[in-house]
Structure 1
Amino acid sequence: MQRDDPDYDDAAWQAIVDNYGERAELDLPADPEAAAVGQRADEPVDEPVDEPVDEPVEEPVEEDRFVPDQPPPVPVPPADRLLAWLGVFGSPTVLLASVILGIGLPGWLTGLLVAGFVGGFCYLVIRSPGSPRDPWDDGARV
Structure 2
Amino acid sequence: MTPQSDEDEVWRQIVASFNDTAERDSADQPWPDSENVPAEPTRRVVKPPEEPEPDEDPEIDDPEIDDPEKDDENEGHFEPPPPPPLPKLDLPTKLAWVALFGGPAYLLVAAMASWHMEGWALFTAVAAFIGGFVALVVRMGDDRPNDSGWDDGAVL
TM-score by length of 1: 0.47
TM-score by length of 2: 0.44
